[in-house]
Structure 1
Amino acid sequence: MDSKSNRALYLQVEADIRNDIMQKKYLPGEKLPTETEMCKIYNVSKITIRKAFELLTKNGLVERSRGRGTFVKLNKEKVSLGATQGFNQFLEKTGHSIKNNILSTKLTKADPFLAEKLQIQLEAPVINIQRLMWDDEVPIATDSFFAAAENYPGLLDEINSFGSLYDLLEKKYKVTAYRSKIEFSGIIAKPELADLLHCYTGDPLFVLDKLSYTKNDEVIHFSTSTIRCDRVNYVINVSGQGKINGIELG
């Protein structure tokens, strides 16, 4: 810091931290160094750091949590609950950097639940793909995808960490989602899931069970996604004609 500058030290510190946030040195949701650590980094007093943090908070760049620390603020994305496109597709279209970690891929057999959801015979082969989804370098959701294996030969050999499953189904198998049925609920993060999503044990999470259909009303897939509530808001558009997201009710 420049002690000879006409700018107050806390303003210089605030500007430097703000620049680090903009340059992605500190990522959305990441905890900043403590006040004591910042004092050592900038060689200033705690009062100076505290005033810098207060200004960053006022400007909406960070948020402070008693007992937990100061975190780079997350900008929550608004997602239409009735969207037929995949989560990755939606976020990519809004300018986000998306990637997926493939946690597991396997062939399994349809139990009564999956047989009913996918409209296939009991014990018919089923593709299961489990992914960890990242948004702008932050883990945002887990997703477990199920589909009838006979409909998508070779799918497990094609899946990768960067592509959208919906794009792959459209390009390779000429399958396009026409409508989706979504069941929406919530849970709290248990330790294993909290570690995976880089959140805290007990944090609230959205759970979305989704069935996608073709225009001919054939099931494309069933999936269950668990999503951080601090990263996403879900929006339902209701019209005066008794429609939700363009779908007639009743």
Structure 2
Amino acid sequence: MLQALLKADENLGYNLYKYCQETSHVKLAADIFSISGDETVWFGLPSVVGSLLFMMRGLGALRPMGCLEEGMWDCFGAAAVCIFVETALKWVFRRKRPGYSPQSKVHSVPGEWFSFPSGHSLRAFYWPFWLSRSKFVGLLSPLIAFPRARYCVPWAAAVGWSRVAKGRHFPLDVVVGASIGAAVGWFTEDYLGGLGRSVVKVVGGIFITYFYGITFLIPQVSGDENAGAISKYGVAYYGFYVLLFFATLPKDFESMGAQTLSVDGNSCTTIF
């Protein structure tokens, strides 16, 4: 029964991949949606923007943290939770990626070479909960607060589709990844809340910081072939991670006092 299901899954994935690769505009759409859900975006953007804001305020000595900076670190922490869950499950199931398409040889964390579940789908279906529940997002722009975040679901579905269309995953990888992402998003952003969500995100961040160094940065610096497009920025990128967890994210535990901007009693002092 299981083997029949997996075989049907592989056949469906291959047929969708073949069609998309033969249709130029569909192939382009798959590339765009896939990039929009990539970890480079959801780790890179908050790392760079958050770190720049952190340095602009004198490494925290000149003025309190602004909402945008807190929001960037909160986004980073959410992405870290997703990749922690994704990596753990990939090591449990160890399903090989589709053999009918070329696969990336660049891996930032251990287990990325496995297929089940799809990390892109997991992240994409986590984000509506983050947009809906995160106090930092609410402080920055109430316009995207719940229930408007549900409008992100079509984008999340398109991200999942793109992973099959590009031959990176089988359909079942995407469906399960999306379900897990929604469950983890609800648990972290809605059920836990407050201190609990902060602890979970710090743990996820420590995980990605440690294994990013071991899997990507150290081999790259040592001259390994596992370099990738951002290799020359690797040291600085890893530095952002360290800066985050040793100097910035712990502020989440202390950011409840000021009342200039407030959502559900939680606040930071300024937008920037």
Larger Cα-atom Rg = 1
Question: What is the TM-score of this pair, normalised by structure 2?
Answer: 0.23
Q: Which has the higher helix share?
A: 2
Question: What is the TM-score of this pair, normalised by structure 1?
Answer: 0.24
